[in-house]
Structure 1
Amino acid sequence: MSKFKHFLGIDASKEYFDAVVILDGIKEKPVHSQFVNDYKGIKSLYKWLKEQGSTFENTLVCLEHTGMYGKLIIKYLMVYNFSLWVEMSLKIIKSIGIQRGKNDKVDAERIAFYAMKNVEESITYNPPRTEIDKIKNLLSLREKLVDTKSCLLRNAKELKSFDLEVAKFSEKLQKNTIKGIDLDLKNIERQLDNIIKEDENLCRIYKIVTSVIGIGRVTTLFLICYTNEFTMYSTPRQLACYAGVVPFEHTSGKSIRAKPKVHYLANKKLKKQLHMCALSAIKHDPELKLYFNKKVEEGKSKMLVINNVRNKLVHRVCACIRENKIFEKRQVA
């Protein structure tokens, strides 16, 4: 039996957020209000809820993942001790069925109804620590700088095929920019190292994960961020599914017989990182190298075997974290 009597749905945007509360589970009489998306607005929300008899003890708050737009709401509602459920927007949409029309008020009402209907499956939101947010922001900035540098170098290289003089002029102009990007990347790496060194738990996790052959520093940081320090997934298979390294059957009756494939909602960034890790592991880990060669000789597709290696790496990382042990390299006979 759920302890919640009231269900609050919030639809957040940049400037405002709409709030709809279903009182005593009576969905026919939802109460709606709109607030400014800042500290004063959230304070007004708290007072408004109090007037409705909705408190942190009897109310489940549900909102969608909206990136930075929902950060302030989550932060202050947690200060007020509310139970928060931060859910995927696609999951909410698909659970409701066919709907006609939409606006912010209607969306907030649908979120509140979703929370009431699925209260037994609700997952209390566990916010990442400040250190994890810092790592996320630094990784995001690093990725943008790397992409910018690659774009500049690629442009100069392509120009050489058509106009050598213009290419040299372009390289000369870009030289200082690329130097500046390289300097910024070094500073980011330094800051990431400092965050890891100064935090005991992050330092422990970092040492364990990087001990797995093939897993590098950037992939380790991505894993730490996306799993909230390995607290979001209870089994290695769940994490492997999220990372897009578990293929699922796709058949129906006699006519549909597609090859097993990974889900399109998988985390593409993590999947890409794990792909590079798998290639490195096949090269440097004797056990995985032997496994790869054996399966390829048996006629298996190379991409299928590489995906299996990615899956193995995820399971190795999770096993090491679970046992709190450094990975031990196995001897191959």
Structure 2
Amino acid sequence: MGKFKHFLGIDVSKEYFDAVVILDENKQNAIHNQFINDYKGIQGLRKWLKEQGATCEDTFVCLEHTGMYGKLIIKYLISFKFDISVEMSLKIIRSIGVQRGKNDKVDAERIAYYAMKNVDEAVLYKAPRKEVDKIRNLLSLREKLVVTKASLLRNVKELKSFDLEVAKLSEKLQNNTIKGIDLDLKSIEKQLDKIINEDENLSKIFKITTSISGIGKVTALFLICFTNEFTIYSTPRQLACYAGVVPFEHTSGKSVRSKPKVHYMANKKLKKQLHMCALSAITSDPELRIYYNRKVEEGKSKMLVINNVRNKLVHRLCACIRENKMFEKKQVA
């Protein structure tokens, strides 16, 4: 990416964002400005960059991943033809060593420096399609409703052990709320089905993903969202690492000899979904059931074997997506 001369770092918050541009690859030549986090602010950023002589052709942009707060900026900068990288804050912090002090201006400058230092290894951000964004938002809403419903039901169950009369009153009062949540959940399911069925690519990926033993509808949709329709991760190991199902060695000399463990930096939500998929696959897939029983009989930890099954599911999935075909169970004698 040697075409870039200028490097823009953006630190985003809810109401505004700080921008620092490093001009002519000179860390000492860094200029700061702050803008409101709306369309006018983004237009102001574009005008300010032009004043500094930084155009979309020679300026590389880097932002921290901040969820919804950065969506507007990313959307318009992409429409303005800027090349963008969206990185985890922890990755940026660790790459630039020991730092002292912190404020929005300093953070933006550090992001700009990170962009300049790592531009050759940077992965350009590819915005998900509108349909994938809809799925992600619906899944997020679904999760909140499921948690709310479970909390209400659990509260009544616990009350029954201490005060039956109060428990019955609570159950009666929240009955309409539970019914309303159930109706909303059904509506969300219908919307998700509609989006999948009306989009050719999503429908194809969804059918391939759910053809694999143990992987259900919700997990398939999470995978589609987190991998941006399987365009982000080029190998099964990359996806398995992201999902936190690959154990890593932890040794040093003769004194440090820990067992291989999965890394804590993983997508916990996807890891949890794959865990449930593995448990289901062990029950429904003869090949994986035989594998699980054999390894447990050999003395392997059950949790270790389940993690191996999760890893196998990821490899099966990536192979099917790569070859564009449905998964076929092996016939086990």
TM superposition score category, shorter chain reference: over 0.9
Give CA-to-partner distance per residue, 1:123-171, whole Å, 9 cap, x none: 1110111111110110001001101111111111111111111111111
Q: Which 10-residue stretch deviates more, 197-206 or 248-257?
A: 248-257
User: Equivalents in 2 of 1:281, 1:203: separation in Å?
Assistant: 22
Amino acid at match of 2:85: W
Amino acid at match of 1:256: V
**Correspondences of 1:1-333 after superposition (within 5 Å):** 2-333=2-333
User: Equivalents in 2 of 1:104, 1:268: separation in Å?
Assistant: 28
Gaps of at least 5 residues in structure 2 are none
Amino acid at match of 2:159: L
User: Equivalents in 2 of 1:72, 1:32: separation in Å?
Assistant: 20
After the TM superposition, which parts of structure 1 deviate over 4 Å for at least 4 consecutive aligned residues?
A: none
Percentage of pairs with the same residue = 80
User: Equivalents in 1 of 2:44, 2:153: separation in Å?
Assistant: 51
Q: Give the C-alpha shift of residue 199 in structure 1.
A: 0.5
User: Equivalents in 1 of 2:35, 2:155: separation in Å?
Assistant: 47
Gaps of at least 5 residues in structure 1 are none
User: Equivalents in 2 of 1:139, 1:15: separation in Å?
Assistant: 26
Q: Give the C-alpha shift of residue 218 in structure 1.
A: 0.3
SS of 1:264's partner is coil
Q: Give the C-alpha shift of residue 21 in structure 1.
A: 0.7
Give CA-to-partner distance per residue, 1:196-215, whole Å, 9 cap, x none: 00100000000000000110
How many residues get paired?
333
User: Equivalents in 1 of 2:63, 2:331: separation in Å?
Assistant: 50
SS of 2:203's partner is helix
Q: Give the C-alpha shift of residue 93 in structure 1.
A: 0.5
Q: Give the C-alpha shift of residue 253 in structure 1.
A: 1.6
User: Equivalents in 2 of 1:93, 1:330: separation in Å?
Assistant: 46
Q: Give the C-alpha shift of residue 328 in structure 1.
A: 0.6
User: Equivalents in 2 of 1:237, 1:74: separation in Å?
Assistant: 28
C-alpha RMSD of the superposition: 0.8
Give CA-to-partner distance per residue, 1:290-333, whole Å, 9 cap, x none: 11111111111111111100000010011000000000110012
**TM-score normalised per structure 1:** 0.99
Give CA-to-partner distance per residue, 1:53-97, whole Å, 9 cap, x none: 100100101111011111111011111100001111111101111
Give CA-to-partner distance per residue, 1:10-55, whole Å, 9 cap, x none: 1111111111111111111211111111111111111111111100
